[in-house]
């Protein structure tokens, strides 16, 4: 996509290798946006869409000391210093070795640090470091929270839930701080989306808790992210949109 002056729109998205992130880059790409992606792993041929390889930046968001180098790489790829969308999608939800929920009693300091670094702190620092590029484009930030941030979930652990609740608070804070620069900051809170993150047993939740009685598709989440990055949502700032088939009601 380009504006009246023919400048291309750029999106930076974390966690593009699969799931919601993968569906989102494909959708933005179909709508002619230029994409930059952050992934932990080297480029994989499984994540194929035109220009995927050139768009790929390898970085581990659990390692906060790598963020300066990552941001320098992003800047060098923005032709006129404008970033129109930052989508903070990467997330981890660790489980115990037997697959059960990691509650307060079972979560050690190492797990707390890893989850908070990836799901929360790297998000705040990326937005902080790229604020000038977002301001120049009057861009949009979308943080991917979760239904687990606002209610106890049978599979999501305590560190994950706390990180997502904090990410919702960070969204509110950033909407307040970045709004005067013309940057909108919003969140989307998925429920049960058909990705590798789901646990066995999710089918029971679908029957018991989701009014629409089905899982969500990654593409349905991608559409909401696209809306929040487009002009159609030009007065929406500081919102958290539930994409859960009504699971949150």
Q: Give the single-character DSSP code of 52.
A: H
- The torsion angle over the Cα atoms of residues 107, 109, 111 and 117, rounded to 10 degrees, is 140
Q: How far is the CB of 125 from ligand NAD (least distance, A)?
A: 13
We find the least distance from the C-beta atom of residue 215 to ligand NAD, in angstroms, to be: 8
d(CA 49, CA 21): 13
C-alpha distances in Å from residue 140, one per residue of 32, 117, 124, 126, 188: 17, 22, 14, 13, 13
Q: How far is the CB of 83 from ligand NAD (least distance, A)?
A: 18
Residue nearest to ligand NAD (CB): 19
Give the pair of three-digit tokens for residue 173. 């804070």
CA distance 237 to 138: 12
Residue closer to ligand NAD (CB basis): 39 or 82: 39
Give, in order, the Cα–Cα distances in Å from 4 to each of 7, 9, 136, 150. 7, 11, 15, 41
> Which spans of this chain sit near ligand NAD (rule: CB under 6 A)?
14-21, 38-40, 60-62, 89-93, 118, 144, 146, 190, 192-193, 195-198
Handedness of CA 46, 47, 50, 55 (dihedral sign): negative
Helix (H, G, I), strand (E, B) or coil at 114: helix
Q: Give the shortest CB-106-to-ligand NAD separation in angstroms.
A: 19
Structure tokens at 215: 């899982």
CB 114 to ligand NAD: min, Å: 8
Which residue's CB is nearer to ligand NAD, number 137 or number 187? Answer: 187
- Of 208, 206, 191, 197, nearest to 243 by C-alpha is 191
> Could you tell me the smallest distance in angstroms from the CB atom of residue 87 to ligand NAD?
10
Quickly list H helices, 59-209. Answer: 67-76, 109-116, 122-129, 131-137, 158-178, 202-209
Q: What is the DSSP letter of 42?
A: S
Q: Please identify, using beta-carbon distances, which residue of 78 and 142 lies nearer to ligand NAD.
A: 142
| Residues with catalytic function | 160
């Amino acid at each position: 996509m380009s504006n009246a002056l023919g400048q291309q729109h750029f999106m930076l998205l974390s966690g593009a290798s699969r799931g919601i992130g993968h569906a989102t880059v494909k959708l933005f790409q179909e709508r002619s946006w230029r994409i930059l992606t952050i992934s932990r792993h080297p480029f994989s041929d499984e994540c194929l869409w035109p220009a995927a390889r050139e768009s790929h930046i390898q970085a581990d968001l659990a390692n906060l000391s790598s963020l300066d180098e990552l941001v320098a790489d992003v800047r060098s790829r923005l032709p006129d210093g404008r970033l129109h969308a930052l989508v903070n999608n990467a997330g981890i939800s660790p489980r115990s070795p037997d697959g059960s929920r990691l509650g307060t009693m079972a979560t050690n300091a190492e797990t707390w640090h890893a989850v908070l670094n990836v799901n929360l702190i790297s998000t705040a620092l990326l937005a902080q470091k790229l604020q000038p590029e977002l301001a120049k484009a009057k861009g949009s930030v979308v943080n991917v929270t979760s239904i687990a941030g606002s209610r106890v979930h049978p599979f999501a652990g305590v560190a994950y839930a706390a990180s997502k609740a904090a990410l919702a608070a960070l969204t509110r804070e950033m909407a307040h701080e970045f709004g005067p620069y013309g940057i909108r900051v919003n969140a989307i809170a998925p429920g049960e989306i058909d990705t590798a993150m789901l646990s066995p047993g999710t089918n029971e939740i679908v029957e018991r808790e989701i009014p629409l009685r089905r899982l969500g598709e990654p593409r349905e989440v991608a559409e909401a992210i696209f809306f929040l990055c487009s002009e159609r949502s030009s007065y929406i700032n500081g919102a958290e949109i539930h994409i859960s088939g009504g699971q949150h009601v």
